[in-house]
Structure 1
Amino acid sequence: MQKRDREATRARLLTAARQRFAREGYDATSVRDIARDSGVDAALIFRYFGSKKQLFDQATAATLPPDLLEGPREELVARMVRTVVDYDWTEYGGEHPLVAMLRSSAHEDARQRIRKEVCRTYVDALRDLAEGEDAELRAELLSAWMVGIGVLRSVVATPALSDAGAADLAPHIATVATALLGRPMSGTVDQSPMSGTVDQKGEPG
């Protein structure tokens, strides 16, 4: 019973931390804020995680949909865009974790984490798909475009992009992805809608 209670408390702290860091960023979030949101004493954060930084690292560890890097290669960009547009990121305040982490980008550790996750999640997979020269550059350009979609939707809340769904973006996804990768890419995904989160690493199929 004690172990279950400890695990439940730890899970509550992680959930509260994700939402606080997503909304306010690292520097504006205090240990007391997270403890108050969780209904526990702040001392438990240090007992379970050691420090605010270690809590941040665990709370913002990127969680990828299980099928993001699986499936037809021509649908990869469409799957990536769907994680920004249609995926349920409730645990991160409703935003893609990378977009949420941008609020902590003034913190050096957060910048390094963002760089690592963007490269691991987007750039590396897209570079392997790119045909011709400058594959790394074109993969980064396409990654920047997708992260920018998330920023405009979640942070800036521009009206047209905020209201657009994956189907609205599909022809533009196909056009941009095909041009930058130098190979035919689809703007749609022939799969059921993504839901939930799970830690997943993989390579494009």
Structure 2
Amino acid sequence: MSTIDDQAREPAVPKRDREATRARLLEAARLRFAREGYDATSVRDIARDSGVDATLIFRYFGSKKQLFDEASATDLPAGLLEGPQEELVARMVRTVVDHDWTKYGGEHPLVAMLRSSAHEDARRRIREEVCATYVNALRDLAEGEDAELRAELLSAWMVGIGILRSVVGTPALAEARAADLAPHVAAVATDLLGRPMSGTADREGGSSRT
């Protein structure tokens, strides 16, 4: 790792080049962590994939852990938590089966992070992402008793869809699109949330029904 004196002697790097290098490191880190997990990925792997020296990872991110935290932060698809409440589960399922997650190796980032679940920091990130993004929103929709439990069950079902599609590769789910799952999404979501739920969601933000 470079010392402060070493860095002080190095020529200044234009801001645009620093930002481009940092973005390239993040992109490489997302793919490596998604495909191989935290423990199996080294900073040298990421640096080699980016075509830079490994010392730049410590200069720009401080540590492998900080790089992982930033690389695994999920940018939610626009409108996921907006729009008609009865379409929320359908929108969530659509992010699992139809959204373009190329920068996370083609998988939903929560599924990708499961490869790092042996690491406590990764488990914390998964827990935070699942609770903040899915469980809390579904709990607020649930009617009747055991709202938290039913929200977690529905979240587990959606994560399971992602695992079977991209990790296990079961044939029917791997080929299915959101429209194929629509009637089942409506049935499961309606039953677990205790209120009528749609199996489809209008991509333009309007209302649609199954």
TM-score range, shorter chain: over 0.9
- Asked whether 1:141 is paired with 2:153, we answer yes
Match of 1:13 in 2: 25
Q: Which residue, out of 54, 59, 62, partners 1:47?
A: 59
In the alignment, the residues of structure 2 paired with residue 83 and residue 190 of structure 1 have an alpha-carbon distance, to the nearest angstrom, of 13
In the alignment, the residues of structure 2 paired with residue 46 and residue 118 of structure 1 have an alpha-carbon distance, to the nearest angstrom, of 29
Match of 1:29 in 2: 41
Q: Residue by residue, what CA displacement relative to the aligned partner does 1:137-171 show, whole Å, maximum 9, x if unpaired? A: 00000000000000000100000000000010000
One-letter code of the match for 2:47?
A
- Asked whether 1:85 is paired with 2:97, we answer yes
Match of 2:181 in 1: 169
Stretches of structure 2 lacking an aligned partner (at least 5 in a row):
1-12, 206-210
One-letter code of the match for 1:59?
A
RMSD: 1.0
Q: Which residue, out of 135, 139, 146, partners 1:123?
A: 135
Shift of 1:88: 0.4
Q: Residue by residue, what CA displacement relative to the aligned partner does 1:20-77 show, whole Å, maximum 9, x if unpaired? A: 0000000000000000000000000000000000000000012101200000000000
- Larger Rg: 1 or 2? 2
TM-score normalised to structure 2 length: 0.91
Match of 2:80 in 1: 68
Stretches of structure 1 lacking an aligned partner (at least 5 in a row):
194-205
Kindly, what percent of the aligned residue pairs are identical? 84
Match of 1:196 in 2: none
Q: Which residue, out of 34, 50, 61, partners 1:38?
A: 50
* DSSP 3-state at the match of 2:87: helix
Q: Which residue, out of 114, 119, 144, partners 1:102?
A: 114
TM-score normalised to structure 1 length: 0.93
How many corresponding residue pairs? 193
One-letter code of the match for 1:43?
T
Shift of 1:92: 0.2
